[in-house]
Amino acid sequence: MTRLHRDRLTWLSYAQLGIWGYFLYAFAPVVPLLQDEQGTSKFVASLHGSALAVGSMLGGGVVYPYLLKRFGRGATVWIGLGGVAAGVGVLCLVEPLPLTLAAVLFASVFGIVVVSYIAPTLTALHGPKAPAAISEANAGAAGLGVIAPMVVGASVGIGWGWRPAIAVTVALIAGLGLYALLTKVPAAPAQDVSHHDRPGRLPVAYWFAWMVVALCGAVEVCLTQWGSVVLRDHAGMSEGGAAGSIAAIVGGMFVGRLAGGRLGLRYSPPALLLGSIGLALAGFAVFWLSTTGALAVAGLVIAGLGMSVHYPMGIALAIEASAGHPDRATGLSAYAMGLSFAVTTFVLAPIADRVGIHPAFLLVPVFLALAALCVWQVARRLPARLVHTPAAEIS
C-alpha cells in the first residue's frame, strides 16, 4: 500500500475542517445551557439546531456554489472561515433568542462552505488516495471535537459560562489565517478535478442511502445536543460534568474514524454500516439504562465508536448508489444533514417537553433500526460487486 503524502495544503485543509468541528461539537452541549439562560422550553431551545440545519442547506446548496464560481476555491474557504468567525463572535456577545438563532444560522451557512471545500480540494491533491485523506480530515475534526465539550464543561465549571469556550473558535481562525499568511501556504491546489454527472434521474437506491445519512445524522445530533441533559437528570452528573462528558461521544468517533479507513479495506460500505449501527445501538443501550455517570459515559464512548463511520460510509454509499451522479448525490446530502438537525426540534424536543428527555431518547434506537433497514434496501438494489467489495477497491 502506497503512503499518503501530506503537503502543507493538506495539513491546512485538515486544520480548516477541524476548526469547524471544534465549534460544532462545542456548541452541542451549549444548547441546554442556552435553554436555562433564556428560560425557554426544550422545543424553543432546539430551534438552534434548526438554525444549523437551515444554514447547512443554504451554505451547501446556494452560497458555496456561488462563492466558488465568483472567487475560486482558495478564496472561498477563507470567506467561509471569516463568516464562521463573524457568526460565532456575535453569538458570544448577545443573549436574546432571535439574535442567538441568527448568529448560529450565519455561522452554519459559512461553516458548510468550509466543509464543502475540503473533499474536492483533497481529491485534487491526492487523486485515488483522497479517501484516506478525507478520512484523516474527519478524524482530525473529531479530535478537536473531543476537546471542545471538555473546554465548555471546564469553562462552566469554574464559573466563566460557556461563551469563552465558544470564542476559542474565533481565536483558532485568526491564528490559522495568520499562519497561512506568514508561511505562504498555497491558497488552492495547482490542479483541480471535476466530476460530470450522467443525465437522468437518481435511482431509488440513492434515496434509501440519502435516508441513511439523514437518520444516522439525527442519532448523532440527538446524542451530542441533548445527551448532557440525560447525564445530568438520569445519571446524576453535575451540569459542568455532563456538558464536558459529551466529549466521550466524539472521542469514540475519533478513534473509530482512525480505524475506519483500515476497516474499509476489508469490508464493503453496506457491511460496515450495518455492523456500526449495531455497535451504536449497543452503546446507546448502556447509556440509556445507566443510572451512574461512569457507566453512562462508557456507553457514549461505545456509541461514538459505532457512529464514527456512519457519515463517511453513508456518503460513500450514496455516491455508489447514485448511478453516475456523484455531484448531485453529494450536493443533496447537505439537505439530509439539514434534516438530521431539524429532527431534534420537530421530533425529539416536543416529545421531551411532554414525557421527559429520558423516555424521548427511545427515538434513537428507532432511527438506528430504520437506518439499518435503508442500508439493506440499498444493498438489495446495488450490483453484487458493490455490496461485497471493500470500499477501497470500488472505483
For residue 29, what is the domain's CATH number? 1.20.1250.20
200 class by beta-carbon count within 10 Å (0-12 exposed, 13-18 middle, 19+ buried)? exposed
61's CB contacts (< 8 A; 6+ apart) are 331, 334, 335
Q: Which residue has the cell 439539514?
A: 338
* Counted domains in the chain: 1
In a domain, 355, yes or no: yes
pLDDT at position 15 is 93
In degrees rounded to 5, what are phi and psi of residue 320?
-65, -35
Is the pTM value of this prediction over 0.95? Answer: no
Residue 127 neighbours by CB distance under 10 Å: 11
In a domain, 2, yes or no: no
Rama region for 323: left / alpha / beta (φ>0; ψ in -120 to 50; rest): left
pLDDT at position 362 is 96
The x, y and z cell numbers of residue 384, run together, are: 453484487
Judge whether 288 and 299 are in contact, CB under 8 Å.
Answer: yes
Q: Which residue has the cell 447525564?
A: 231
Domain extent at residue 70:
8-189+197-393
- Three-state SS for 7? coil
In a domain, 134, yes or no: yes
Judge whether 80 and 110 are in contact, CB under 8 Å.
Answer: yes
pLDDT at position 129 is 67
In a domain, 178, yes or no: yes
In a domain, 155, yes or no: yes
In a domain, 73, yes or no: yes
In a domain, 48, yes or no: yes
CA distances (Å), origin 20, targets 148, 250, 342: 11, 14, 19
Q: Report the candidate in 317, 338, 285, 283 with the shortest Cα–Cα distance to residue 115.
A: 338
In a domain, 126, yes or no: yes
The parts of the chain modelled with pLDDT lower than 50 are 1, 193-197, 391-392, 394-395
